[in-house]
Amino acid sequence: MMSSLLCSWGTTSFPLLAIPSSSSSSSFSSLVLYPKPKARNGSTKATRPFCSARRNDDQNQNSTGQENNLDRRNMLIGLGGLYSAANLGSNTLESSAAPIPPPDLSTCRTNLGPPVPYSCCPPTNTTIVDFTPPTNPPMRTRPAAHLATAQYMERYNRAVQLMRNLPANDPRNFMQQSYVHCAYCNGAYFYPAAQGLNGGQIQVHGNWLFFPFHRWYLYFHERILGSLINDPTFALPYWNWDSPDGMNTPTMYNNSRTYPALFNERRNQTIYTRPVNLATGTNSNLTPQQIANNNCAVMYNEMISTATTLESFMGRPYRRGNAVPNGAGTSERGSHNAVHNWCGDPRERAGEDMGNFYSAGRDPIFYCHHSNVDRMWTLWRERRATNQRDFTDTDYLNSQFLFYDENRRLVRVRVADCLDTTRLGYQFQTQGVTVPWTTCRPAARVRGTRAARTSTLDAPKLETLEFPLKLDKIVKVLVHRPRQSRTLEEKEKEEEDDFENFDKAEYLGTFSHVPHKHDTPKKIKAGERLELDAQLEELDVEGDEEILITLVPLAGDITIGGIKISYASSP
């Protein structure tokens, strides 16, 4: 079982922080949520955030729930704005013979509406070939971008320039490559109803398709680049933003004269002299060392402490016939989204290019960023037992995508065929690269019931508040825990979920959200779920009877739909 706190909100980004509270009678933990700066998405309003933790034994999209306890302590939480979510669901997956099918390119929707100013639809090819894993492929090693040699950067720049020079209707053309991401992420593709299942929109963000789709996307992009320079060993670089050595923007993307094909005018031009802020994806007054410390805590949080289950890290199940789930995994809604927002150009109406999913693929740094996102998946899998690395659900393994390869062939691929990178013929540079966040476990400032005496109590009970609740001022609320303590056996079977941030045990996670085209862009409901067990154990507040949640708005128009605490099953 895993307890979860879910929060949905709309088109505003914000992190959350929790601080200790006190009481003269009962002891309880506290949680504080800090909204972060509004996302650069052109929207004027955020819509209905909904905070809820609920039990869910349902295998599908709908959750039913039974309130249960989220025990103890203070915690930091980070939420971000556009598009993210988490409907709580069971990790115990069953095969339902409903994998997401590949799109029919001939039915691609050409008019996505604002802010997308062009059609994302690729050339249509009626001949489709099934992917065959290469036999003894030459091993390609993706280099850490900050360690790349001048020779490598020159070759990479030349490959991208050749890709830009291809005819506009060539599926290998750089703009056509960017359309792939645009189409899969912005509602251009639908699948038809079949076998009693409803048709629906294909979306590769906010669910368990996030990692495999982007792995396949980079795989074919990389092969095309290599073929253009006649180098089958060519590999994309990865932006090593999870380590202090690589947190600054790689130099190859900063020099418009030396590497013009890698430079992008529609990029935040102020980011080049500071390390990326993985906590919020925004500039701050923190020193580089403070940012590095926070980044380390963010990475430990999203890769280790709140990512103990497949669904927590990978995202919620997404099956044919069901609505697209709001359930991004810890890495997607954390560092992934933060880097997108960090690079997005604030001068552009909707944060283009990197700051909006429809245009993100137009910036070459997208592929370097996602190469590290792909590396995060690899590192996470390596830390787990073999039988706990991947979903075994056939709906996941048999979900399919279409990509054009280096020979302009339309290739159908399955999720199951991309789980092993060495089978695809690539690996990541490890020499000279450190992974410091594995030892960045934040320490508790106060532990046990003392945590409940370190701040004042002026919060109403949850049942006295009326929802939806407009978050236009600081709101504190006490949420009762139905069960305050658990046996060791129960602890081993349960995980507690919530949000958090920075180098304190009270911090649960940061959530940044990247805008992209929606059919109803002004009203987006989203939600988040985080595991709490590691932080709660560190604070040693097992006997707390209530949780003090403080919502602190910083920007945007936000409405809270509800708050709930409970457990959910885990595999």
Active-site residues, by number, are 181, 205, 214, 336, 340, 357, 370
Q: Which two tokens stand for residue 388?
A: 């706990």
Q: Which two tokens stand for residue 500?
A: 């958090």
Q: Which two tokens stand for residue 328?
A: 């991004």
How far apart CA 262 and CA 252 sit, in angstroms, is: 7
Q: Which two tokens stand for residue 410?
A: 């339309």
What b/e string do you get for 4-19 counting C-beta neighbours within 10 Å, with b at 16 or more?
A: bbbbbbbbbbbbbbbb
Do the Cβ atoms of 409 and 249 come closer than 8 Å?
no
With CA atoms as reference, report the closest residue to 103 among 16, 26, 213. Answer: 213
Q: Within a 10 A sphere around the Cβ of 194, how many other Cβ atoms?
A: 12
The conformation of residue 302, written as its DSSP 8-state character, comes to: I
Beta bridge partners of 201: 190
Beta bridge partners of 402: 412
Alpha helix (H) residue ranges in 149-203: 150-165, 174-185
How far apart CA 35 and CA 77 sit, in angstroms, is: 9
With CA atoms as reference, report the closest residue to 45 among 82, 8, 6. Answer: 82
With CA atoms as reference, report the closest residue to 398 among 417, 383, 385. Answer: 417
Beta bridge partners of 200: 191
Supply φ then ψ for residue 551, to 5 degrees.
Answer: -100, 120
- The dihedral of CA 551, 556, 562, 563: what is its sign? negative
Alpha helix (H) residue ranges in 301-435: 310-314, 330-331, 337-343, 365-382, 394-397, 421-424
How far apart CA 302 and CA 223 sit, in angstroms, is: 30
Can you tell me which residue has the tokens 């980044």? 295
Do the Cβ atoms of 99 and 222 come closer than 8 Å?
no
With CA atoms as reference, report the closest residue to 419 among 220, 185, 216, 217. Answer: 216
Distances (CA, A) of 402 to 160, 208, 571: 22, 17, 31
- The dihedral of CA 364, 365, 366, 372: what is its sign? positive
Q: Which two tokens stand for residue 236?
A: 């994309």
How far apart CA 210 and CA 177 sit, in angstroms, is: 17
Residues contacting residue 387 through CB under 8 Å, at least 6 positions apart: none
